[in-house]
Amino acid sequence: MLGKDERGQDVYVDKAGFMVNQRGYVVTRDGHICTREGKVLFLKAQLKNGEFPKIYPFTRFNINRVLGDIEMDPGGQPILTKNDIGQTVDRQGRLVNEKGYLCDRHGNVIDTMGKIAFEKALLEHNGDIPEIFRSNILRSDS
């Protein structure tokens, strides 16, 4: 339903009074999809027509499908190497980004089959995939 924000501008609100976007997702004042507690799940820039990207079925996600063959240092940061032309690669010589995720030449994160899993625009500024996929909230499949 339509309501008004503190500036008197029209906004959508759900039955509980939370601000929502035109698709019904709870959002912050800036338009980021968030939980009812305000924790941002997807940035407004990552949305397409108000929808978060449909990447994998949300009941299953295996992070190993997008991670390169890398070692981690004791602080949990990937130990990366560069190939002869200065590209970051894993131990098998596949392109990876600064977080160790397999990527294509455009910076999209791909899975082990070479299919785009996360478009570059969906990644965080440091190349990380969205937190919901890193936080083990989603059930892993093998």
3-state secondary structure at position 64: helix
Q: Residue 83, Cα to own-chain centre: how many angstroms?
A: 27
Q: Are residues 1 and 23 in the same domain?
A: yes
Domain that includes residue 3, residue range: 1-52
Task: Show the DSSP H helices in 58-129 as ranges.
Answer: none
Q: Are residues 134 and 93 in the same domain?
A: yes
Q: Are residues 27 and 67 in the same domain?
A: no
Distance CA 59, CA 56 (A): 8
Q: Are residues 16 and 83 in the same domain?
A: no
Q: Are residues 81 and 120 in the same domain?
A: yes
Pairing assessment for the beta strands 109-110 and 116-118 based on DSSP bridges? antiparallel
Q: Are residues 34 and 75 in the same domain?
A: no
Q: Are residues 64 and 129 in the same domain?
A: yes
116-133: per-residue pLDDT in tens? 988 898 888 899 998 778
Which of 35, 52, 69 is where one domain is finished? 52
10-59: per-residue pLDDT in tens? 788 888 889 898 888 899 988 898 888 988 888 888 787 777 766 554 55
R_g (Cα) of the chain, nearest Å:
18
Q: Residue 37, Cα to own-chain centre: how many angstroms?
A: 19
Provide the number of structural domains found in the chain: 2
Q: Are residues 29 and 72 in the same domain?
A: no
Distance CA 125, CA 1 (A): 34
Q: Are residues 64 and 132 in the same domain?
A: yes
- pTM metric for this prediction: 0.63
Distance CA 113, CA 62 (A): 13
